[in-house]
Structure 1
Amino acid sequence: MSVVAGIGWHLVGAASAAAFYAPYKKVQGWSWELMWSIGGLFSWIIMPWLVTMLLVPDLSAFYSNIPISTFAMLMFCGAMWGIGNITYGLTMRYLGLSMGIGIAIGLNLAVGTLLPPLIRGQLGALVHSHGGSLTMLGIAIALVGIAIVTYAGNEKEKVIGERAQEFNLRKGVMLAIICGIFSAGFAFGLDAAGPIKAQSEALGINYLYVAMPAYGFIMGGGALVNFLFCGYNIFTNREISVRHDLSLSKSLMTRNLLFTAMGGIMWYLQFFFYGWGEASVPERLGYINWMLHMSGYVLFGGVIGLIMAEWKGVGTRPVRILIAGLLVIIGAANVVGLGMAA
């Protein structure tokens, strides 16, 4: 195991997460619900089970030794994560992009990082150890960095005149809190996947892949919630017409399918490399994995925004604030690395 490799793989996964929506922006003539469902089919169903089947020669024998309660917990945590996905989008609607991301991701980072060791009664011991105190400091610095990036986003919105679709501070903050708690369900699911990881190790699966056979169940729970949400919208919203969406020209349908598949696969890859990062981080510091992922998400979201010229024309001040926030997040990752090595 390598601490540096663990941080590196988490950053690779975070970069994939930050960039996954770019292919979706190329989709034309499809409702968001159809696009999201088809992309989700690739990210939540096809990819996790394809990887699992490549790793595990006999699925029935592999899972036969796993307690039913483990599968139920993984599906439950995945459903939590799915609710977090939906409320994340609604948070943007009521708070705007920058404020919504700042509050939701900040809460997500804190909850997903601190709650698992708190539930296990290990938080006090972690805080009082030298390495643990450094990693807690890293978490605090990361939250400061996210706050700075959020402030930069607010300054950008003021300059270019962006507004939330239906600004409602009370409703938006409530949804952001729900998102921050429920989106951390994926981290809780991996924390509950111990029996599957142990079975993977017993089978001789490379340590980088031991968590992968749990993904199909965690993402399956999330898929169920998202598919139900999209299906409900499709059947109750008269402005959405699947018949129209599927009547496009063959070339445009093929193009849309390729872009949605690309976006879905990139969304899955964030957790593929998250699994590599988690496997590379020492088990005693496993609680830090979610922090690395979420802070990396914000970091690369800012970088990709600069590359794609989303900050063009806003002046130098918001960009300087953004860069300062990104540097603080990079510093937080380094402090966490010191804590992991201590």
Structure 2
Amino acid sequence: MSVVAGIGWHLVGAASAAAFYAPYKKVQGWSWELMWSIGGLFSWVLMPWIVTSMLVPNLAEFYADIPLSTFAMLMFCGALWGIGNITYGLTMRYLGLSMGIGIAIGLNLAVGTLLPPIIKGKFGELMSSNGSTLTMLGIAVALVGIAIVTFAGNAKEKAMGQKAEEFNLRKGVTLAIICGIFSAGFAFGLDAAGPIRAQSEALGINYLYVAMPAYGFIMGGGAIVNFGFCIFNIVTKKEISIRHDISIGKSLLIRNLLFSAMGGIMWYLQFFFYGWGEASVPENLGYINWMLHMSGYVLFGGVIGLVMAEWKGVGTRPVRILILGLLVITAAANIVGMGMAV
């Protein structure tokens, strides 16, 4: 195990998460629901099971001794994560991008990092361990960095005259809280995947991949929620027509399929590399994995925004504030790294 490798792989996964929507922006002539479902098919169903089938020679035999309660918990946590995915989009609708990201991601980071050890009754033990002061300081600094990036985003929106589609503070904050708590369901699912990890280790699977046979069930729970939401919208909203979506012409149809698949695969890859990062972090500090992932998500989201000229024309002040926030988040990862090394 390597502290540097753990942080590095988490950052690779976070970069994939921050960039996953870029291919979706290339999709033309499709409803959001169809695009999201096609991408989700690759992200939540195909990729997890393709990877698992490459790791496990006999799936039925591998899962035979796993308690049914484990599968149920993984699916339940995945469903929570799926609800978080849906409410994330609604948060942006009612609060705008900057405020929505700040509240939702900040809560997601805090809940996904601290709640699992609290539920397991190990929080006191973690706080008395070597390096705990530095790691907790790193979490606090990451939250400060996210707040600064959020402030920069708010300044950008004002400079560009942007506002939420239907600004509603009460609805937006409520949804952001729901999103922040429920999106951490993936972290809870990984925490509940102990029996599958043990089975993977017994089979001799490389330590970087031991959690991945659990992904199909966690993501499966999320898939049920997301597919259900998309199907409900397709059935109830008259402006959505699947017949229209698939009659756009062969070349554009193939193009849309490829870009949707690419976006879905990139979304999956965040958790693929998350698994590598988690496996590289010492077990007694496992609670900081989610913090590294979520802070990296905000970090690379800001970097990608700068590279894609999304901040062009807003003036130097918002950009300076953004860069300060990104530097603070980078410092947080280094502080956590020092705490892990103690």
What TM-score do you get using the length of structure 1 for normalisation?
Answer: 0.99
- Cα distance in 1, alignment partners of residues 169 and 126 from structure 2: 35
Structure 2 counterpart of 1:81? 81
| Paired AA for residue 9 in structure 2 | W
- Cα distance in 1, alignment partners of residues 283 and 166 from structure 2: 44
| Paired AA for residue 174 in structure 1 | T
RMSD (Å), alpha carbons: 0.5
| Paired AA for residue 32 in structure 1 | W
- Cα distance in 2, alignment partners of residues 49 and 201 from structure 1: 18
Aligned length: 342
8 Å CA contact retained: 1:44, 1:219: yes
Equivalent residues in 2 for 1:157-196, closer than 5 Å: 157-196=157-196
Matched, 1:290 2:307: no
Structure 2 counterpart of 1:62? 62
- Cα distance in 1, alignment partners of residues 123 and 161 from structure 2: 43
SS in 2 for 1:234: helix
Structure 2 counterpart of 1:258? 258
- Cα distance in 2, alignment partners of residues 124 and 148 from structure 1: 30
- Cα distance in 1, alignment partners of residues 206 and 105 from structure 2: 31
- Cα distance in 2, alignment partners of residues 56 and 129 from structure 1: 36
SS in 2 for 1:331: helix
SS in 2 for 1:232: helix
| Paired AA for residue 183 in structure 2 | S
8 Å CA contact retained: 1:126, 1:133: no
- Cα distance in 2, alignment partners of residues 204 and 79 from structure 1: 30
Give CA-to-partner distance per residue, 1:293-333, whole Å, 9 cap, x none: 00000000000000000000000000000000000000000
Structure 1 counterpart of 2:334? 334
| Paired AA for residue 23 in structure 1 | P
What TM-score do you get using the length of structure 2 for normalisation?
Answer: 0.99
Give CA-to-partner distance per residue, 1:233-256, whole Å, 9 cap, x none: 000000100010011100000000
- Cα distance in 2, alignment partners of residues 24 and 183 from structure 1: 21
Structure 2 counterpart of 1:138? 138
| Paired AA for residue 214 in structure 1 | A
| Paired AA for residue 275 in structure 2 | G
Q: Which runs of 5+ in 1 are unaligned?
A: none
8 Å CA contact retained: 2:126, 2:284: no
Shift of residue 133 of structure 1? 1.4
| Paired AA for residue 217 in structure 1 | F
SS in 2 for 1:29: coil
8 Å CA contact retained: 1:7, 1:277: yes
Structure 1 counterpart of 2:317? 317
Structure 1 counterpart of 2:37? 37
Give CA-to-partner distance per residue, 1:6-42, whole Å, 9 cap, x none: 0000000000000000000000000000000000000
- Cα distance in 2, alignment partners of residues 285 and 126 from structure 1: 8
- Cα distance in 1, alignment partners of residues 60 and 44 from structure 2: 20
Shift of residue 135 of structure 1? 0.5
Matched, 1:220 2:220: yes
- Cα distance in 1, alignment partners of residues 339 and 123 from structure 2: 15
- Could you list the runs of 4 or more consecutive aligned residues of structure 1 that deviate by over 2 angstroms after TM superposition? 127-130
Q: Structure 1 vs Structure 2: percent identity of aligned residues?
A: 84
Give CA-to-partner distance per residue, 1:135-187, whole Å, 9 cap, x none: 11000000000000000000000000000010000110000000000000000
Shift of residue 123 of structure 1? 1.1
Structure 2 counterpart of 1:72? 72
Structure 1 counterpart of 2:248? 248
Q: Which runs of 5+ in 2 are unaligned?
A: none
- Cα distance in 2, alignment partners of residues 129 and 66 from structure 1: 32
8 Å CA contact retained: 1:311, 1:319: yes
Shift of residue 93 of structure 1? 0.2
| Paired AA for residue 281 in structure 1 | V
Structure 2 counterpart of 1:28? 28
| Paired AA for residue 88 in structure 2 | Y
Q: Which moved further from structure 2: 74-83 or 127-136?
A: 127-136
Give CA-to-partner distance per residue, 1:255-281, whole Å, 9 cap, x none: 000000000000000000000000000
Structure 2 counterpart of 1:232? 232
- Cα distance in 2, alignment partners of residues 2 and 26 from structure 1: 38
Q: Which moved further from structure 2: 156-165 or 125-134?
A: 125-134
8 Å CA contact retained: 2:88, 2:175: yes
Equivalent residues in 2 for 1:300-315, closer than 5 Å: 300-315=300-315
SS in 1 for 2:252: helix
Structure 2 counterpart of 1:155? 155
Shift of residue 124 of structure 1? 1.9
- Cα distance in 2, alignment partners of residues 200 and 126 from structure 1: 26
- Cα distance in 1, alignment partners of residues 165 and 330 from structure 2: 32
Matched, 1:272 2:258: no
Give CA-to-partner distance per residue, 1:41-78, whole Å, 9 cap, x none: 00000000000000000000000010000000000000
